[in-house]
Amino acid sequence: MKSSANLIFHTAKVFILFVSFTVLFYFGMIWLNQEYEDYHRYDEPKGSAIKVSNAVHSSDGKWFDRLLLFYKNGE
């Protein structure tokens, strides 16, 4: 009888730990979501930022070159 009661007690401890850590993880994810919800990644930079890339929009049919560049850079 003592062995089965001990088994039930340890099982209940593991279950309570599992549920508590799952709830902690869930509320942690909710907190992170709320923290970064209003974060605007695509705003204009402030200060003396410079443009480091120049997007080229060409319509003269160089799609094969763009495809090779895509495979080469792995983007």
Radius of gyration (Cα) for the chain, nearest Å? Answer: 27
Q: What is the pLDDT of residue 48?
A: 83
3-class SS string, 11-22: HHHHHHHHHHHH
Q: What is the pLDDT of residue 2?
A: 81
Compute the distance between CA of residue 34 and CA of residue 42 in angstroms, rounded to an integer: 18
Q: What is the pLDDT of residue 11?
A: 96
- Residue 36, pLDDT > 70, answer yes
Compute the distance between CA of residue 36 and CA of residue 45 in angstroms, rounded to an integer: 18
Q: Which two tokens stand for residue 20?
A: 């508590």
**Span between the terminal Cα atoms of the chain, in Å:** 63
